[in-house]
Amino acid sequence: MRKRILERLAALYDRPVIQNNLRRLYVEFLVGELLGRDRKTVGSDWMSWDLEGSNGERVEVKQSAAKQTWPRKGNKASTPGFNIAPKAGYWSTASDWVEEPGRPAELYIFCWHPVAGDHADHREAEQWRFFVVPSNDLPDQQSIGLGPLRKRVPDVGASELPSAVARALEG
């Protein structure tokens, strides 16, 4: 039975358009793989960031895609918005709450899949665009869209992501 369940779970992720509540996990692992082995995926819903670097830096991964699993009126692309709301505190482990207002990650990586047509494939790293923003460069607001992100930083492709992250952490 366990094998059947794992096969069914794999089938949820092995399709070109991944539903958005599952896509979040896929993209976190994708970004972790693109950044290399020195970044580990935290992998807990309770943690307040998604990746940790070998130097302890904390990275939050946000994602959105133009093509969704549900039909959109006129087959229009989805408009991305990313939650960046500062929090009252954070979970340093799955059970340790730290009451410290703000954003606990030092860096945000906003992942945007702009392909809305029939060839959209969320599994393909090359189809994603990434915006790497230090937390202290984010505005004090609840969410951010593509326009404001593009004004802050240029987007990069999968192969450029590691160097963009290194530059953001240095500066």
Domain ranges of the chain: 2-170
Higher-scoring residue by pLDDT: 131, 74: 131
Q: What is the pLDDT of residue 74?
A: 64
Q: What is the mean pLDDT of residues 59-64?
A: 96
E-state strands within 28-106? 39-41, 51-53, 58-65, 81-83, 90-91, 97-98
**Residues sharing a CB contact under 8 Å with residue 82, sequence separation 6 or more, in sequence order:** 62, 64, 110, 143, 144, 145, 149
How many other CB atoms are there within 10 angstroms of residue 142's CB atom? 10
pTM to 2 decimal places: 0.91
Give the model's confidence band at 75: pLDDT under 50 very low, under 70 low, under 90 confident, else very high: low
Residue 36 region by backbone torsions, left for phi larger than 0, else alpha for psi between -120 and 50, else beta: left
Q: Whole-angstrom Cα distance, residue 65 to residue 39?
A: 24
Is the pLDDT reported for residue 171 higher than 80?
Answer: no
The least confident of 29-33, 53-57, 61-65, 138-142 is: 53-57
Let me know how many helices (H) and strands (E) the chain has, helices first: 4, 9
